[in-house]
Structure 1
């Protein structure tokens, strides 16, 4: 399994807000299946960042297309080589 970063630019128009609840249900499903590691949204810049696990970019594309708000997206998919952060490390040892 490889890790990918998807950067999405979106525009809120038409029935976008009506589609948010089913979209969140889909995102929660992918998080619970350990497909999505992180899902981040900025309303200021109207961007979404998703870090996810997939075998290749074609699989990532298939996952994105299933979102109810897919039609509002312009995105790019990048395969990640290094990812690091507090959530990927062992907890610090705390002597008694």
Structure 2
């Protein structure tokens, strides 16, 4: 399994916010399946970053096209060489 980063730019209109709950349901589904590791959105720049676990870039794309917000997106998908975060590290020892 490889890691991919989707870098998404979006434009909002009146209908956009009505689709957000269904989109979040889909994102949560993919997170629960372990396909999405992280999901971040900046309203300031109207950019979204999604880190995904799939075998190919095409497989990552097939998950993205199924979201209700897809028609608002322009995006690229890049394979990651290094991905590190606190979630992948052992917890710090707490001495009594």
Q: Deviations over 1:51-89 (max 9, x none)?
A: 010010110110000000000001010001111121111
Distance of 1:78 and 1:11 partners within structure 2? 21
Structure 1 residue 80 and structure 2 residue 80: aligned? Answer: yes
TM-score, with structure 2 as normaliser: 0.95
Q: Give the aligned CA root-mean-square deviation in angstroms.
A: 0.9
Structure 1 residue 64 and structure 2 residue 67: aligned? Answer: no
Distance of 2:44 and 2:7 partners within structure 1? 15
Distance of 1:31 and 1:18 partners within structure 2? 21
Structure 1 residue 35 and structure 2 residue 20: aligned? Answer: no
Structure 2, unmatched stretches of 5+, are none
Structure 1, unmatched stretches of 5+, are none
- Shift in Å, 1:3: 0.5
SS at match of 2:62: helix
**Paired residues, what number?**
96
